[in-house]
Amino acid sequence: MATLLSKSELRERFAMLRAGISLERREKGASALLQKLSPLLTPVSKVLSFESFGSEIDTSQINALLKRRGALLLPEMFETVTSIPLETIDLILVPGLAFDKGHHRLGYGKGYYDQLLARSHCALSLGIGFHEQQTDLLPRVATDVALDSVCLV
């Protein structure tokens, strides 16, 4: 019987995997993300996104599109999300280190997104990343909140 790795072991494994994605693959992924999400975002009025850092999928193209449409909510620091009325958010783009087939995500271990998602009952949540970040099953605890959907490119 296989033993599940701990969340910290999985974080290390998927961080290394994501960091190893080539520059060419990253650029194709950012373009594919824009192509996939662009038609879906037309009716959306407000999207809480994030600025990519490190090896996360590049959100600059999708954020630029949202900004042109007047739909971008981009807090400078995650704590400022508390100043945005959650009922005004239609969609939350969520980063992660890994995503499973049940739409659960492995984050960085601080619980910021789980806390936000637990409070935002009106907004749809969409995990975004690379195909390489998909796994069959992630370990979960009671405070983990599943996403509504995942878009991996």
- Phi then psi for 42, rounded to 5 degrees? -55, -50
pLDDT digits (tens, 9 = 90+) for 43-82: 778 999 999 999 999 999 999 999 999 999 987 645 555 5
What is residue 66's three-state secondary structure? helix
Q: Which domains does the chain have, with CATH numbers?
A: 7-152 (3.40.50.10420)
42 pLDDT band (50/70/90 cuts)? confident
pLDDT for residue 93 is more than 60: yes
What is residue 47's three-state secondary structure? strand
> What integer is the mean pLDDT of 135-149?
95
Instruction: Kindly state the percentage of the chain with pLDDT values over 70.
Output: 93
At 4 the pLDDT is 76
| Top-confidence residue, 48 or 40 | 48
Q: Which residues contact 54 (CB under 8 A, 6 or more apart)?
A: 19
> What integer is the mean pLDDT of 120-131?
94
| Top-confidence residue, 128 or 70 | 128
Q: What are 12's two structure tokens?
A: 């290390």
What is residue 20's three-state secondary structure? coil
pLDDT digits (tens, 9 = 90+) for 7-25: 999 999 999 999 999 999 9
At 113 the pLDDT is 93
What is residue 21's three-state secondary structure? coil
List, as own/partner pairs, every contact residues 27-30 make where C-beta atoms lie below 8 angstroms and the sequence separation is at least 24, other chains included: 27/58, 28/153, 29/57, 29/58, 29/130, 29/153, 30/57, 30/58, 30/59, 30/60, 30/61
